């Protein structure tokens, strides 16, 4: 059983923000406009109108009509849209759901912490668990971990801590780095905008919630400290640490019996750590000068080591017991690291590396966005947001690139039956498409930051609607949000589908979403011939569709935080 059939009237199952466009999708092969009505919680019709037929939608294969109920703007809960016999899931007009989502999506990272108990006083009994990977039998632990057989390094490292990547227990620097960066950027952007109060201390339920430091920084620091530990004596950074073999589902972290192994160092991991450590040095300068200096020294050393080892590729075939996360192009990581180091230190050598890079002035940002293997735009975001000594015209050019790409997203949003602002060369949806959707929404958000134009802000909400239920599967891809949220995400201890004594994921966790490449056995069995946006099932074994990760949730947290901030006006 993979769930009930999708609805014919697709809405954001959480809500629509007052003063923004409110759109839904009707699935119907009728070629003429259909009458719709909006009902309030009491069942009274409060607005009516007619649909606009749009023909067959390419990404979903559905024959669709647009329902535009923007003119109705009265806040409330329990609205439904009705067309003939068909009705939508209920939704709100309001923004409470976004206020909640910004914190739930950040709270996810505490659950993913490795090397520390997850305590009931913060997350409740349901989600409490003992520390994983601290060498308490049968657990093998992340202390004194040797390098992989075949790539002995002559030393061991203590790499306890950090966040588990996803549904597995691996910890991968290139993915941990972009995730920590995005969480930190959520804060840094808000700080520069004067809106960081909403991200202050005491906003999350974590052990550091009353230490006088914003919780979002405390949480990101948990990962940054781990990234620093992955640095080898020569300054290079180990690519990843994970189990020697894949474990079965379910396996709780503290019960993982597999030996742990460090993979070789890589140029990508080294630059990734350099970038995040340089960013951290800047952010903690006035908060914890000692930590700031430690991070900066690690970043400087890593950057120099990467320059001396500019083409050390992580083994693309090393996918046993953990993901490969291999990347072969490093110009983007060099640019990103140089951008962070320059912004933090102002030094001429980093500046020259920034301005001399082929990525400079937003040249690598396109509709494909950014992800663990394409990090140039992260450097752009820092250079476009954080004051630095670069020529104003260059900063303007970087910002202009964001608005150009945002315009292309808006055009796609206008064309799609279920606007996702997702783009790929071949029209397919890739592994983690929802994370990409969230990141593309952040490009729209930045375009609004840079220009103040309403259309970009509206685009952000439009894209969030796709993630929260206005899509052809009728799922809200965020756990605990909406009437039909995903429940069976691929995770080693949020695994109720396999063991009724285990919980489902807590609220605020983003599923990877549709992947038309059908890369796991469930997907190949159930989804042959699917249209891209429909290549999805809510099944725990469907790891190429329904896993959750730190990098997808960092994208969600960034955009949820922005959307909550901007909901008022
Ligand atoms: O997110 C990663 C995606 O871009 C890759 O195509 C895929 C296959 O290599 O791997 C994804 O990352 C997974 C990682 O390898 C292991 N932890 C879970 C990640 C999410 O599925």
Q: How many angstroms separate the CA atoms of 372 and 431, rounded?
A: 12
Q: Tell me the two tokens of residue 458.
A: 């509206």
In the reported structure, the alpha carbon of residue 323 is separated from the centroid of ligand 1 by a whole-number distance in angstroms of 6
Q: What is the pLDDT of residues 134-170, one digit of tens each?
A: 999 889 899 999 888 777 788 999 999 999 999 999 9
Q: How many angstroms separate the CA atoms of 336 and 380, rounded?
A: 8
Paired strand residues for 238: 265
Active-site entry in 333, 462, 538, 565: 538
Active-site entry in 95, 165, 168, 333: 168
Nearest CA to ligand 1 atom 10: 323
Instruction: Indicate if 65 belongs to the active site.
Output: no
Read off the pLDDT of each residue in 431-457 and give the average, rounded to a whole number.
98
- By CB atoms closer than 10 A (0-12, 13-18, 19+), residue 209 is middle
Paired strand residues for 240: 172
Q: What is 96-364+375-389's CATH number, 1.10.1660.10, 3.40.50.720, 1.50.10.10, 2.40.390.10?
A: 1.50.10.10
Tell me which DSSP letter residue 164 carries. -
Say how many CA atoms lie within 13 Å of 504 toward its Cβ.
18
DSSP notation for 300-324: HHHHHHHHHSTT----TT--SSS--
Tell me which DSSP letter residue 479 carries. T
Instruction: Indicate if 318 belongs to the active site.
Output: no
Active-site entry in 111, 242, 490, 493: 490
In the reported structure, the alpha carbon of residue 118 is separated from the centroid of ligand 1 by a whole-number distance in angstroms of 25
Reduce the DSSP state of residue 63 to 3 states and report it: strand
**Is the peptide bond preceding residue 250 cis, with omega within 30 degrees of 0?**
yes
Q: For ligand 1, is residue 332 a contact (CB within 6 Å)?
A: no
Q: Does CATH place domain 1-94+391-569 in 1.50.10.10?
A: yes
Reduce the DSSP state of residue 558 to 3 states and report it: helix
Q: How many angstroms separate the CA atoms of 375 and 395, rounded?
A: 18
Q: Tell me the two tokens of residue 76.
A: 């409330």
Q: What is the pLDDT of residues 394-425, one digit of tens each?
A: 999 999 999 999 999 999 999 999 999 999 99
pLDDT for position 2: 58
3-class SS string, 97-117 = HHHHHHHHHHHHHHHCECCCC
Residue 1's pLDDT band (boundaries 50, 70, 90)? very low
Which alpha helices (H) appear in 51-111, and where do they start and end?
Answer: 96-111
Write out the H or E segment, with its range, that includes residue 522.
helix 521-526
In the reported structure, the alpha carbon of residue 536 is separated from the centroid of ligand 1 by a whole-number distance in angstroms of 16
| 185, 369, 380, 414, 416 from 340: Cα distances, Å | 12, 19, 10, 35, 36
Read off the pLDDT of each residue in 422-448 and give the average, rounded to a whole number.
98
Core vs surface per residue 421-452: b (16+ CB within 10 A) or e = bbbeeeeebbbbbbbbbbbbbbbbbbbbbbee
Establish whether this prediction's ipTM goes over 0.95. Answer: yes
pLDDT for position 152: 75
Q: How many angstroms separate the CA atoms of 129 and 73, rounded?
A: 44
Q: How many angstroms separate the CA atoms of 266 and 312, rounded?
A: 5
Instruction: Indicate if 490 belongs to the active site.
Output: yes
Reduce the DSSP state of residue 23 to 3 states and report it: strand
Question: 25 — phi, psi (to 5°)?
Answer: -125, 130
Strands 260-262 and 265-266 turn out to be unpaired
Q: What is the pLDDT of residues 15-45, one digit of tens each?
A: 999 999 999 999 999 999 999 999 999 999 9
For residue 569, pLDDT beyond 60: no
Q: For ligand 1, is residue 170 a contact (CB within 6 Å)?
A: yes
DSSP notation for 259-296: -EEEPPEEHHHHHHHHHHHHHHHHHHTTT-HHHHHHHH
For residue 126, pLDDT beyond 70: yes
Q: What is the pLDDT of residues 199-235, one digit of tens each?
A: 999 999 999 999 999 999 999 999 999 999 999 999 9
Q: For ligand 1, is residue 174 a contact (CB within 6 Å)?
A: no
pLDDT for position 340: 99
Nearest CA to ligand 1 atom 14: 323
In the reported structure, the alpha carbon of residue 331 is separated from the centroid of ligand 1 by a whole-number distance in angstroms of 22
Question: Residue 307: which residues within 8 A CB-CB, separation 6 or more?
Answer: none
Domain boundaries, the chain: 1-94+391-569, 96-364+375-389
In the reported structure, the alpha carbon of residue 522 is separated from the centroid of ligand 1 by a whole-number distance in angstroms of 16
Residue indicated by tokens 């009437």: 483
Q: For ligand 1, is residue 436 a contact (CB within 6 Å)?
A: no
Nearest CA to ligand 1 atom 18: 166
3-class SS string, 320-380 = CCCCCCCCCCCHHHHHHHHHHHHHHHCCHHHHHHHHCCCCHHHCCCCCCCCECCECHHHHH
**Is the peptide bond preceding residue 138 cis, with omega within 30 degrees of 0?**
yes
Read off the pLDDT of each residue in 261-269 and give the average, rounded to a whole number.
96
Share of the chain above pLDDT 70, in %: 99
Core vs surface per residue 54-86: b (16+ CB within 10 A) or e = beebebbbbbbbebebeebeeebeebbbbbeee
For residue 328, pLDDT beyond 70: yes
pLDDT for position 523: 98
In the reported structure, the alpha carbon of residue 544 is separated from the centroid of ligand 1 by a whole-number distance in angstroms of 8
Nearest 5°: CA angle at 58, between 54 and 61? 85
Helix axes 267-284, 331-345, angle to 10 degrees: 20
Q: What is the pLDDT of residues 465-492, one digit of tens each?
A: 999 999 999 999 999 999 999 999 999 9
Q: For ligand 1, is residue 253 a contact (CB within 6 Å)?
A: no
Q: For ligand 1, is residue 555 a contact (CB within 6 Å)?
A: no
pLDDT for position 60: 98
Which of 322, 431, 542 best tests ligand 1's pocket when mutated (most atoms within 8 Å of CB)? Answer: 431
1-94+391-569 shares its CATH topology with 96-364+375-389: yes
Q: For ligand 1, is residue 429 a contact (CB within 6 Å)?
A: no
Instruction: Indicate if 1 belongs to the active site.
Output: no
DSSP notation for 191-203: HHHT-GGGG-TTS
Q: What is the pLDDT of residues 333-363, one digit of tens each?
A: 999 999 999 999 999 999 999 999 999 999 9
pLDDT for position 149: 74
Q: What is the pLDDT of residues 237-247, one digit of tens each?
A: 999 999 999 99
Say how many CA atoms lie within 13 Å of 34 toward its Cβ.
23
Sign of CA dihedral 410, 434, 113, 261: negative
Q: What is the pLDDT of residues 299-315, one digit of tens each?
A: 999 999 999 999 999 99
The answer to whether the beta carbons of residues 225 and 210 sit under 8 Å apart is no
Q: For ligand 1, is residue 431 a contact (CB within 6 Å)?
A: yes
Q: What is the mean pLDDT of the chain?
A: 97
């Amino acid at each position: 059983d993979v769930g009930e059939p999708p609805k014919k009237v697709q809405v954001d199952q959480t809500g629509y923000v007052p003063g923004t466009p409110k759109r839904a999708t009707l699935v119907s092969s009728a070629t003429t406009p259909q009458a719709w009505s909006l009902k309030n919680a009491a069942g009274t019709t409060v607005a009516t109108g007619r649909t606009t037929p749009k023909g067959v939608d390419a990404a979903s294969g559905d024959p669709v009509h647009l329902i535009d109920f923007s003119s109705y703007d009265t806040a409330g809960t329990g609205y439904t849209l009705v067309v003939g016999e068909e009705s939508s899931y209920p939704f709100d007009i309001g923004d409470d759901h976004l206020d909640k989502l910004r914190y739930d999506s950040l709270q996810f990272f505490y659950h993913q912490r490795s090397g520390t108990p997850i305590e009931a006083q913060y997350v409740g009994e349901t989600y409490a668990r003992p520390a994983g990977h601290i060498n308490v039998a049968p657990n093998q632990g992340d202390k004194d971990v040797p390098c992989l057989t075949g790539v002995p390094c002559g030393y061991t490292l203590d790499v306890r801590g950090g966040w588990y990547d996803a549904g597995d227990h691996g910890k991968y620097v290139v993915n941990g780095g972009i995730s920590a960066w995005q969480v930190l950027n959520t804060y840094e952007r808000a700080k520069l905008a004067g809106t960081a109060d909403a991200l202050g201390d005491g906003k999350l339920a974590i052990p550091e919630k009353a230490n006088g430091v914003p919780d979002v920084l405390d949480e990101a620091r948990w990962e940054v400290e781990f990234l620093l530990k992955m640095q080898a004596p020569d300054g290079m950074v180990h690519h990843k640490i994970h189990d020697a073999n894949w474990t079965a589902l379910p396996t709780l972290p503290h019960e993982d019996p597999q030996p742990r192994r460090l993979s070789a160092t890589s140029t990508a991991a080294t630059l990734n750590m350099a970038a995040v450590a340089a960013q951290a040095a800047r952010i903690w300068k006035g908060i914890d000068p000692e930590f700031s200096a430690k991070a900066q020294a690690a970043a400087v050393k890593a950057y120099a080591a990467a320059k001396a080892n500019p083409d050390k590729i992580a083994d693309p075939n090393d996918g046993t017991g953990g993901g490969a996360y291999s990347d072969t192009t490093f110009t983007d990581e060099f640019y990103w690291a140089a951008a962070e180091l320059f912004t933090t230190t102002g030094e001429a050598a980093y500046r020259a590396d920034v301005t001399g890079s082929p990525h400079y002035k937003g040249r690598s940002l396109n509709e494909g966005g950014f992800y663990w293997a394409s990090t140039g735009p992260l450097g752009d975001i820092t250079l476009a947001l954080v004051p630095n000594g670069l020529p104003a015209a260059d900063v303007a050019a970087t910002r202009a690139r964001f608005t150009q790409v945002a315009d292309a997203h808006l055009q796609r949003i206008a064309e799609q039956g279920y606007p996702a602002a997702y783009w790929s060369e071949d029209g397919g949806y890739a592994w983690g498409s929802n994370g990409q959707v969230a990141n593309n929404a952040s490009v729209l958000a930045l375009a609004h930051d840079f220009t103040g134009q309403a259309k970009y802000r509206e685009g952000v909400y439009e894209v969030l609607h796709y993630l929260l239920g206005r899509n052809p599967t009728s799922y809200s891809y965020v756990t605990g949000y909406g009437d039909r949220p995903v429940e069976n995400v691929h995770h080693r201890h949020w695994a109720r589908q396999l063991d009724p004594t285990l919980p489902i994921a807590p609220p605020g966790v983003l599923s990877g979403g549709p992947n038309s490449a059908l890369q796991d056995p469930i997907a190949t069995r159930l989804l042959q011939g699917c249209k891209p946006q429909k290549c999805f099932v809510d099944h725990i074994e469907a790891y190429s569709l329904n896993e959750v990760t730190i990098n997808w949730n960092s994208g969600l947290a960034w955009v949820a935080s922005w959307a909550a901030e901007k909901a008022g006006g």
